[in-house]
Each structure stands twice: as structure tokens, then as C-alpha cells.
Amino acid sequence: MVDAMKAWPMAGHLPPGDHGARTGKGDAPLTLSERRPGSIVEVGCWPDTLNRMQMVLPQLARNTAILDLAPGRWWVVAEQTGVARDLERGIEPGLGAVVDLSDARAALRVSGPAMPDLISRILPLDFRDDRLPPGGSAETVTAHMNVTLHRVDATTVDLFVFRGFTRSFLHHVQEAARGFGYRVTSP
């Protein structure tokens, strides 16, 4: 459960400002900022409840992003807190299972025209639109860290990692981003 006193995983580790190669005037090719969703919830079901869950979940998870990660496995990501509680009310144990991951992941938003080039350096994913369209998601690995990716739009992705990997992951991304030049903005 997310509470008001929560210490966000990247707080203090991602100082705002311009970093890396000089970007000159105008917008930086990359912008990094911590994403602070109020809810990250995993929902799973069984083969015989898959059809029902595919109908029920979009109705229960309104105003959220639903990431289709694997057969019978989704993430529901939302700005508001308490989504896990709402889903638990609507998904009885015979239909599926709900696990609140809100405190278990760190999330980084990467945006800008150089985003696909940066991601190509660190993740083994095909970023052409027909493979990973805006709204799509993927789970992958970088430097032995599991990453869940949500492509928000053509030049923006949210990257989720296990919270304990926050500093290693940030170091990894910032090293790769330095050559492009990047701006860190407040969440």
C-alpha cells in the first residue's frame, strides 16, 4: 500500500539539471524523470478464466494503463492509490489473483527524440512501431536486471525495475544517456 510518507526510490538519486554532452540551445534530446504511480498491481488468472478476466479487468481498472505482459498476467498502473484494493474487491479468488507491487518497483520515464536510440543501447528490443506500438509493453533484461517497459507514446517509455536495483539501473541508464546529453526533470 502506498502511503503519504512513502520514500520514493529515486528521490535524491536523480538530481534535476542538464547532464552529459552539451546539447546547445533548445530542448535536450532526452529527458529523464522519476515516475511516481500511486498503484502498480499485478493481476493473474487461469486458462479457464482468461476470457472472463479479459472482459472484467478493463471494467474494473478504468483510468489506468493495463500492460498485457504474458498469457493470463497483467499489470495495472495508475496515478491514484488504492487500485489493488478495488481490484481485490472485484476479482474473487476463483477468477484470478491480485498482488500489490506499488512499493516493489522503481519507475523511470524516458522521453525525447533520442529515446529509441538510448533504449537500443540498453535493451534488446525492436522499437519499430509495428513491433512495439504506443500503449504496448514488454518485459526484458538489461545488465541482469529485469525491466518492464511501457511505451507511452512514440518518444516516451516508462521503465520499471525491482526497487532494490534503483541505483544500479539509474547508473546504467545515465551512462548510456551521457553521449546524447539529457535533462533530469522533477517528477
Partner 1 sequence: MIIDCPVCGPRHLTEFSYGGEASRTPVGIAQTDQQAWEGYVFARNNPRGLHDEHWQHSGGCRSWLHVRRDVTNHRIHSVRLMGPFAARHAGHTSP
Q: Where along the sequence are the contacts to partner 1 (CB under 8 A)?
A: 46-47, 50, 69-73, 124-126, 131, 138-141, 146
Nearest-angstrom CA–CA distance, 2 and 23: 37
Angle at the Cα of 154 from the Cα atoms of 9 and 53, rounded to 5 degrees: 70
**Is residue 8 helix, strand or coil?**
coil
CB of 70 to partner 1, least distance (A): 4
CB nearer partner 1, residue 42 or residue 86: 42
CB nearer partner 1, residue 50 or residue 154: 50
CB of 97 to partner 1, least distance (A): 14
Count of residues in the chain: 187
CB of 186 to partner 1, least distance (A): 32
CB nearer partner 1, residue 72 or residue 82: 72
CB nearer partner 1, residue 69 or residue 97: 69
CB nearer partner 1, residue 75 or residue 182: 75
* CA dihedral of residues 174, 10, 146, 69 (deg, nearest 10): -120
Residues 6+ apart with CB under 8 A from 94: 49
H/E stretch holding 78 reads strand 73-78
CB of 134 to partner 1, least distance (A): 16
CA 11, 105, 28, 22 torsion: positive or negative?
positive
CB of 56 to partner 1, least distance (A): 18
